[in-house]
Structures are given as C-alpha cells and as structure tokens.
Amino acid sequence: MNIQPTSRLELLQGTLDLLILRTLLPGKTHGHAISKHIQRTSEDLLQVETGSLYPALHRLEARGWIAAEWELSEKGKRAKYYLLTTKGRKQLQAEQTKWETFSRAMGLVLNPLNQEEV
C-alpha cells in the first residue's frame, strides 16, 4: 500500500521549525509553498507532513517568530502569507548555528578517518 519512496527521511524532532524559518528568509510565502519548497530544495529527501506543518506555523506565529497576513496569491486567490519577524530572524540565526555545530560534531564522531585523510 505504501508507495512513498524508500529514500525519504523522517524529520528530526524540532528541525521543522528551523526549516520553516529558513524557508521564509527570502520573503513571505504561504503554507503550501513552504511545504513544496522544503521538499524541492531537499531533493525530495524531506517531505513535510501537512499534519505537522500547520500546527508548526501557528505555533511559530503564537511565539512571535513569524507573522501572517492575508493576501492575494499569484493566481488571485486569498491566501495566508507568513513572513519572518525580527525576533524570528534572530531565532533562525541561533537555531542555524546550533544545528551547524551539531551536524559538524556528528560528522566528526561518525567519520573520524575522513577527517584525518583530509
């Protein structure tokens, strides 16, 4: 029954927020586009469950990291557009640094030999 590609990754706990914030960095966009953008830029490796996306968006909005406004989409329909706030920008920076440190550390531990060869 399951016809999802096998190579698809489960999102790590807490990373969705970071992905959303990063996606919004260039400018405002709506929920569906955010989902598609993450999927596309991760070369289809990451797929955002809609069931997690919207709660996450509303949570970030409640925290004040993103703001929302209703605008007409390029096809002329009313859509809810999200944009990064100043607070969210700071949060993104902090989260991104944390993530990069974490992933470098993971890399160092998992591939000690590679490190030496380089």
Partner 1 sequence: MNRILRKLGWMAQRSRKEAELREELQFHLQEEAEQAEAAGLPAEQAKWAARRELGNVALLMEDTRATWGWTCLERLWQDLRYAARMLRKNPGFACAAVLSLALGIGANTAIFSLLNGVVFRPLPVADPQQLVQFTNTIPLWETGSSIARDLYAYPQLERFQAQSKTLSGIFGWTGLGRINVGSHGTSGIAQGNASSDNLFSVLGIRPQYGRFFSAGEDRAGASVAVISDRYWRNRFGADPSIIGGAITLNRVPFTVIGITPPEFSGIAVGSSPDIWVPLHALDLLKPDSKRWTDPLSSAWMQIAGRRRPAISRGLAQAELDVIHRQFLAQQLPISQFSGLETVQRFVYEGRLVLRPAASGMSSGLRDSYEFPLRLLMCVTGIVLLVACANIANLLLARASRRRREIAVRLALGAGRGRLARQFLTESMVLALIGGAVAVPMAWWGSLALVRMISTGGAPLPLAVDPDWRIFAFTGAVSLLTGILFGLAPAVRSTRADPGPVMQEGTRGGGRSSHLLDRTLVVAQVALSVVLVTGAGLFLRTLQKLWTVNVGYDRENVLMLSVDAKLAGYPSDRAGSVYREILRRLQVLPGVKSASASIVRPVDDEFNLLDKVNEIDGRSLPESDVIHVAWNATSPGYFSTVSTPVVSGRDFEPRDNETAPQVAIVSESLAKSAFPNQNPLGHRLGLATIVGVVKDSLYSGARDQPGPLLYYPLFQHGRDQEYGWGFVSFELRYSSLSNLPDEARREVASVDPNLPVFRTKTLVAQTEESLMEERLLATVSSFFGVLALVLACVGLYGLMAYAVARRTAEIGIRLALGARRDHVMWLVLRQTLWLTLAGIAAGVPLALGAAWYARSVLFGVSTADPLTIAVTVAILLSVAALAGYLPARRALRVDPMTALRYE
- Residue ranges binding partner 1 (CB under 8 A): 30-33, 36, 49-52, 54-55, 58-59, 62, 70, 73, 77-80
Q: How do 78-84 and 66-72 pair as beta strands?
A: antiparallel
Of residues 64 and 107, the one with the C-beta less far from partner 1: 64
The residue with tokens 């709660």 is 55
Q: How far is the CB of 102 from partner 1 (least distance, A)?
A: 25
Q: How far is the CB of 115 from partner 1 (least distance, A)?
A: 41
Of residues 78 and 113, the one with the C-beta less far from partner 1: 78
Of residues 54 and 102, the one with the C-beta less far from partner 1: 54
Nearest to 42 by CA among 66, 24, 60, 23: 23
Of residues 63 and 117, the one with the C-beta less far from partner 1: 63
Determine the 3-state secondary structure of 52 from DSSP: helix
Q: How far is the CB of 27 from partner 1 (least distance, A)?
A: 18
Backbone CA torsion sign across 4, 52, 23, 98: negative
Question: Angle at which helices 50-63 and 31-41 pack, to 10 degrees?
Answer: 110
Q: What are phi and psi of 83, to 5 degrees?
A: -140, 155
Q: How far is the CB of 48 from partner 1 (least distance, A)?
A: 11
